[in-house]
Amino acid sequence: MRTKIGQSGMVEVDGPPSSPRRRRRPRLRSVVVTGGAGYIGSHTVLQLLLGGYKVAVIDNLDNSAAIAINRVRELAGDHGPNLTFHQMDLRDKPALEGLFASTKFGAVIHFAGLKAVGESVKKPMMYYDNNLIGTIILLEVMAAHGCKKLVFSSSATVYGWPKVVPCTEEFPIAAANPYGRSKLFIEEICRDIYQSDNEWKIILLRYFNPVGAHPSGYIGEDPRGIPNNLMPFVQQVAVGRRPALTVFGTDYSTEDGTGVRDYIHVVDLADGHIAALNKLSDASIGCEVYNLGTGKGTSVLEMVAAFEKASGKKIPLIYAGRRPGDVEIVYASTEKAERELNWKAKYGIEEMCRDQWNWANKNPYGYEPQDHTT
């Protein structure tokens, strides 16, 4: 008996052609996605639904809006009913226990966490409480219910200021702030858990710089307050919410003096999670790390030029000094993910900027009907 994804995106189970009674109802794989209302989570939930998964999203909506879930459901069409939303905080252990007791889940993709580097420096305990305690409680509940397959959102931030690029998964890891340390600690916790109980199968995905939006322009990134990251800021300048982009640092040892990063389309990143989920079924997998990037470095000025081309909008620039804690050049080695996950990013910066602009143009205030920026 073989399974395949049918045209409808549902998982079909093949029986002998002459015996229709052997055809079974599709058995959907059931996955929990923590932080599934957020930027990367919402795009991943959509790809999961379209791939025939049944998805239970857990999110406290601390940095997201329920409307994102509704839009994912709509985009998923016939697969929309396979999405359930559970507004809860990961640290609410009884609530989490209730969910895991009610359904047998095959795996968890764990996005939920706080992610603003500057805020983490000012409020380290808030970051340790949310990111570490939330993860520990999740892992405890998963183990108690025999769900021992995990994909975790780590970050290229754990490479710090790399001595050389591209960054391979074997590079030493370090953290420069409490946010980065929370990622590093969780990676170590996962390695320890696997050492203590090798029934666990864990994939740690180190994301580089996710940008862009779903090509429909219906879901995308909607940061609260002043955006910390480059492309959300650029998009807010383009729609007239902010007067100019401040370029942090023009004296780096790069071609045009601005910082270089590995920008990756969020849909490619989402697909990387499906590849990781598939890999969790490999008998050989224990606790493994994979970079998710494109392997290409792009400077701030190159990114701004690509966005101006895609949008037809001029982005006024203010040149300023380096942002404390920023690194010069970071991009990924993609070989391990290509080889072992059979995954490779498909989109370049033109598509990233095209889709970022499409989202911004259709939703100038994100999921809000008007400006609530503080």
By CB under 6 A, name the binding residues for ligand UFG: 115, 117, 155-157, 207-209, 228-230, 233, 245-249, 259, 261, 300, 323, 326
Catalytic residue among 39, 53, 127, 179: 179
Q: Strand, helix or coil at 213?
A: coil
**CB 83 to ligand UFG: min, Å:** 27
Residues 263-292 touching ligand NAD, rule: CB under 6 A, are: none
> x/- contact string, 170-209, with ligand NAD (CB under 6 A)?
-------------------------------------x-x
Q: Is the dihedral of CA 6, 10, 13, 16 positive or negative?
A: negative
Look at residue 52 and give the partner it binds from ligand UFG, ligand NAD, none, a contact being a CB closer than 5 to 8 Å depending on partner kind.
none
Q: Which one, 85 or 233, has the nearer CB to ligand UFG? A: 233
Is there binding between residue 28 and ligand NAD (CB under 6 A)?
no
120 near 114, Cβ under 8 Å? yes
Question: CA-to-CA distance for 63 and 227, rounded, in angstroms?
Answer: 12
Q: Is 141 within 8 Å of 100 (Cβ atoms)? A: yes
Q: How far is the CB of 346 from ligand NAD (least distance, A)?
A: 19
179 is annotated as an active-site residue: yes
83-117 core/surface letters (b: 16 or more CB in 10 A; e: else): bbbbebbbbeeeebeebbeeeebbbbbbbbbbbbb
Binding footprint of ligand NAD, residue count (CB under 6 A): 29
Helix, strand, coil proportions of the chain in percent (round to 5)?
40, 20, 40
Q: Is 37 in the site for ligand NAD (CB under 6 A)?
A: yes
Compute, in degrees rounded to 10, the torsion defined by CA atoms 357, 359, 360, 362: 120
Where in the sequence numbering do the catalytic residues fall?
A: 179
Note the residues at the interface with ligand NAD (CB under 6 A): 35, 37-41, 58-64, 89-91, 111-115, 130, 134, 153, 155, 207, 209-210, 229
